[in-house]
Structure 1
Amino acid sequence: MFSMKKDLQLEQFSGPLDLLLSLISENQLDISQIAISKVTEQYLDYLSQLDESKAEELADFLVVASKLLLMKARKLMPQFALAEEEGPSLEDQLRLYKLFVDASRKINSLWDQPQRGFFRVEPPRKAEGFVWPENVDPQAMKETFLHLLSRLKPPKDLPQAYIDKAISMKEKIDTIRNLLKKRKKAYFFDVLDQAQNKTEIIVSFLAILELVKQRTVFLSQDSTFGDIAMEAVRDEKELI
C-alpha cells in the first residue's frame, strides 16, 4: 500500500498524503485550493533520494496523483462529467483507498506486537446441574415433600418363607450310580423315599430315565404297578 514517509508542505495543508486524501474525500478540504504540481514536485524529490527497490512507491503515487488531478479538473470544470462506463466515482475510489490504508496501518501495528497469534475465546459455559424454575420456592417444595412422606404408612413385614434346597439332575444321577455300586439291584421306591419334596421326586424320575437313555441302567418290573428294579448295565446284552 502506498505510503509517503515525508510530510507534504503546502500553503493550505501540511502532513502526509494519506491525511490529504482523507480530508479531500470527506469534503473537509477544497481540492481546488491544492496545488497538485507542488505535491508532485515534493514527492518526486522524495523518490529521488530512494533506491530502485522503491519503484513500487512511484507506481502507487502515479495512480493517486492521477486521481487527484481528475478530481481537481472536475472541481474546476463542473461540465466535465464522468461517464457511467468509466467506473465508480473518484470519491468512492478514494474512500476505498482510505479503507485499505487504515487496514494496512492496523495490520502493521498488530505485526509489531510480540503476540502474532490469537486464540479463539471459549464461549461462556452454561451452568450444569438442576436449576429451580423461577416460580418454584425450594423451601415450599421441601415442606410439601416432607408432608407427603409423613402420610405414608410404614411397610408391613413380609411373611417369612423357607426355600428348599434345589437338587440338580446331575446330583441325583450320581446318587443313583453310587447306590448301584454298593448294591446289585436298587428299587425306584427306595430312591423316592429319599426325596424331600415333590421337586426332588420329579428330578429323581428324570434322572432314572436319563440313565436308561445312556444305557447305563437296566429296568425291570415283576408286576403291573409294582416296584421298578434298577440294575447297572455291565453287558449290552442285558438290555435285550
Structure 2
Amino acid sequence: MAYQVRLDNFSGPFDLLCHLIENAELDICAISLTQVVDQYVSYVTLAEDYTDLDAVGEFLVLATRLLLIKTQVLLPITYSSEPDQGESDDIDDTEELVQHLRQYRVFRDLGRQIGKFMEQEKTYIPVGCVPVEGDEQVEVMNPPHIKLYDIVSAWTRLAPLFNQPQTVTIFPDRPTVEEEISALKIRLKNQPSLSFNHYLGKNPTRLRLVTVLLAVLELWRQDNIRVWQVVHFGDIFVASKEVGTCTNNP
C-alpha cells in the first residue's frame, strides 16, 4: 500500500504530492513538511515488518529537497554585488528537484510494471507441468545428487564429439512423376522398349523407384505404353504402344 499524506490542504499518496509540486499545482509554502515527516516516521514505526530501506531513503531525499526549496522561498532575498546569483541558484535547485522527481517517477513506474509482469508470471504453467486442482497433492521429485566428478566424467565422454567435422548430406534432385513421364516418352521414342531395372540404374533410391513406378502406371493408364514380364516376379519391360510385345530383354 502506498504511503498516504494527510495535511490540512492535501490528502493523498506521497507520489501525488510530489507530482503537484513538480507541476506547480500546489504551493510548496502551503505544505507543512514537519507534518509530512512526522506522519511518515509514524507510518514506518507502526509497520514493524517494514524493511524497504530504499523507499525510506528515497523519502528522505525528496523531503530534504522539498525542505531546501521551501527554505529558499521563505527566507528574505539577500542582495549582493551579483543580484542574479541568488535567483540563479534558486532556479537551479528547483530544476534539480523537478528532475529528481521525474527520475523517481520513471523508476517507480518501471517497478510497478515489473510487479505486474511477476503477477502474470504466476498464472503461467511451464511446459511439462500439470495444473493442480483442489486439494490434490503432487509429489515433488528432487533432482538426483550429482557430484562434480560425475559432471567432469560426462564432459570427458562428450568432448570428442565436438571435435568431429560436421557432415553435410547433399540430396540429388528429386524428379517428379510428371518429369519421369516426359523422360520415359523421350526414351521410348529413341528405342522400341526398355527394361525397368535398366532404366532405374544401380542402387536407386526408394523415392526414385516409387516415382518411376508411378510414371509407368500413369502411362499405362493413359494407354500409351505396353507393360509385360517374361517371368513371374521378374523384370518389367515397357514399350511404346506402336511396338509389339517383346519376349526378351532389350
TM range (shorter): 0.3 to 0.5
Largest Rg, 1 or 2: 1
**TM-score, L = length of structure 2:** 0.39
